[in-house]
Amino acid sequence: MIKIAVLCSGGDCQGMNACIQTIVNMASVHGIMVMGVRRGYQGLMENDFVELTRESVANIGHLGGCFLKVARSEEFKKPEGVKLGHDNLVKNRIDYLIVIGGNGSYRGAIELSELGTKVIAIPGTIDNDLFYTDRTLGFDTAVNNAVSTIDNIRQTMEANDRGFIAEVMGRECGHIALNVAAAVGAHSCAVKEVPVEISDVVSDVKQCLSKGIKSPVVVISEACEFTANDVKEAIEKECGIECRSSVVGYVQRGGAPSVMDRLLAIQSGVMAIELIYKGIYNVALGIRNNNVFYMKLDEVYELDNEFNKVLYRQLRNLHNLK
Ligand code: F6P
């Protein structure tokens, strides 16, 4: 009997539970035994395995968070940590390991594969910072959550003729910020991929105010060198309007996965087990043009950040900004 393990590492994201559930259900179709590793690579080093069955995962697919829990492990960044993890997989007679996670988790997965672990990697992070795939699990839900939070705040801002500056997550990557900004029709958007100063944001806001906008909205990414509060103070000083700022925060990472994230989770989970059943490993799954695909795990970092400059430009055109 084939025996596999699944772990989620790094930050949790919406769709991890749906993916675990699919893996377990699909594995049972093929008579494959599934062990869950609690708390990602940290649990792997601590030999924290639990058997997963159709029953144990029956009611998790619609939930955010992570049923197996996640951890950010400093110890696993050391070669001794990776070796310990690999040894525990051997000790538990695990034939294949499925890793669901983001950038850091993929580095861990590649290091395990170099020691002989047979790995399948599934992209799971709200940040969408694995550039070989159009989307990662959690990204779509995180964008939707941020949009609905900004929509709510905007109503009270408009009632008071105030400007609003929202800071969104994404680590070093501006994909969440850009998509949120476009979806709310923000009057200025600051991301690391397009170098901007606070004075550029102030200038955008000034131009919009001159066209009669009373309650401008600015979206910035957490990777910017300035904070939402810095922008608020600069706009109040330079433009003479009252503003409020908010860090949208962890609301982005919680709540039920969107349909897009559930579909990605289900398609990836099914493909992962099909690949294992065919004996294919050391691959990363992704989605391109709405089709799930796989590629060699050690080639995922060969693709650069394709920041959507067209969408960025369209958003500026919408407000007639240079
Ligand atoms: O990687 C996901 C993410 O939510 C980032 O967007 C954010 O910078 C980070 O995790 C927050 O990490 P933590 O949960 O450790 O505070």
DSSP string covering 214-266: SS-EEEEETTSSS-HHHHHHHHHHHH---EEEEE-GGGGG-SPPPHHHHHHHH
pTM: 0.97
Mean pLDDT, residues 170-191: 98
The residue among 142, 69, 79, 140 whose CA lies nearest residue 107 is 79
Q: Is 253 in the pocket of ligand 1 (CB under 6 A)?
A: yes
CA torsion, ordered 62, 65, 68, 73, to nearest 10 deg? 150
How many Cβ atoms are within 10 Å of 317's Cβ, its own excluded? Answer: 10
Is residue 31 included in any domain, yes or no? yes
Nearest-atom number in ligand 1 for the CA of 250 is 4
Q: In sequence order, what DSSP letters do the residues of 29-72 get, joined into one string? A: HTT-EEEEETTHHHHHHTT-EEEE-TTTTTT-TT-SS-TT----
169 and 89 assigned to the same domain: no
In the predicted model, what is the mean pLDDT of the chain? 97
Is residue 27 domain-shared with residue 102, that is, in the same domain?
Answer: yes
Q: Based on the fold, state whether residues 122 and 178 are members of the same structural domain.
A: no
What is the DSSP pairing of strand 49-52 with strand 33-37? antiparallel
Q: How many CA atoms lie within 13 A of 3 on its CB side?
A: 12
Closest Cα to atom 9 of ligand 1: 171
Dihedral angle, C-alpha 293, 298, 302, 304, nearest 10 °: 70
Domain that holds residue 179: 142-253
Residues 129 and 188 grouped into a single domain: no
Task: Mark whether 243 and 294 lie in a shared domain.
Answer: no
Is there a domain that residue 115 lies in?
Answer: yes
If asked whether residues 116 and 172 sit together in one domain, one would say: no
In a domain, 46, yes or no: yes
* 317, part of any domain: no
Identify the band that residue 281 occupies on the pLDDT scale cut at 50, 70 and 90. very high
Q: Locate the ligand 1 atom nearest the alpha carbon of residue 127 and give its number.
A: 6
pLDDT at 298: 95
* Position 44 pLDDT exceeds 90: yes
- The CATH number given to whatever domain includes residue 215 is 3.40.50.460
Whether the CB of 102 sits within 6 Å of ligand 1: yes
Catalytic residues: 127
Which pLDDT does position 306 carry in this prediction? 87
Cα–Cα distances in angstroms (integers) from residue 150 to residues 143, 156, 168, in the given order: 11, 10, 10
Asked if residue 87 and residue 12 are part of one domain, the reply reads yes
- Are 79 and 199 part of one and the same domain? no
Closest Cα to atom 10 of ligand 1: 11
User: For residue 297, what is the DSSP state?
Assistant: G
Residue 307 domain-assigned (yes or no) = no
Q: Domain for residue 146, yes or no?
A: yes
Based on the fold, state whether residues 146 and 125 are members of the same structural domain.
no
Same domain for 267 and 130, yes or no, is yes
Task: Measure CA 12 to chain center.
Answer: 8
Give the confidence band of 304 by pLDDT, cuts at 50, 70, 90: confident
pLDDT above 90 coverage of the chain, percent:
99
Which ligand 1 atom sits closest to the C-alpha of 102? 1
* pLDDT of 178: 98
Of 228, 253, 278, the residue that ends a domain is 253
CA separation for the pair 39, 205 (Å, rounded): 44
Count CA within 13 A, CB hemisphere, residue 19: 37
Whether residues 117 and 45 share a domain: the answer is: yes
163 and 243 fall within a common domain: yes
CATH number at residue 96: 3.40.50.450
In a domain, 296, yes or no: yes
pLDDT of 214: 97
Q: What percent of the chain has pLDDT over 70?
A: 100
Choose among 46, 29, 42, 34: nearest CA to 95.
34
Instruction: Please determine, for residue 127, whether its predicted confidence score (pLDDT) is greater than 90.
Output: yes
pLDDT tens digits, 211-268: 999 999 999 999 999 999 999 999 999 999 999 999 999 999 999 999 999 999 999 9
Residue 66 falls inside a structural domain: yes
Q: Inform me whether the pLDDT recorded for 47 exceeds 90.
A: yes
User: How many angstroms separate the CA atoms of 107 and 105, rounded?
Assistant: 5
Measured in angstroms, how far is the CA atom of residue 171 from the centroid of ligand 1? Answer: 7
What is the tens place of the pLDDT at every residue in 289-299?
999 999 999 99
Domains of the chain: total: 2
pLDDT one-digit tens code per residue, 49-101: 999 999 999 999 999 999 999 999 999 999 999 999 999 999 999 999 999 99
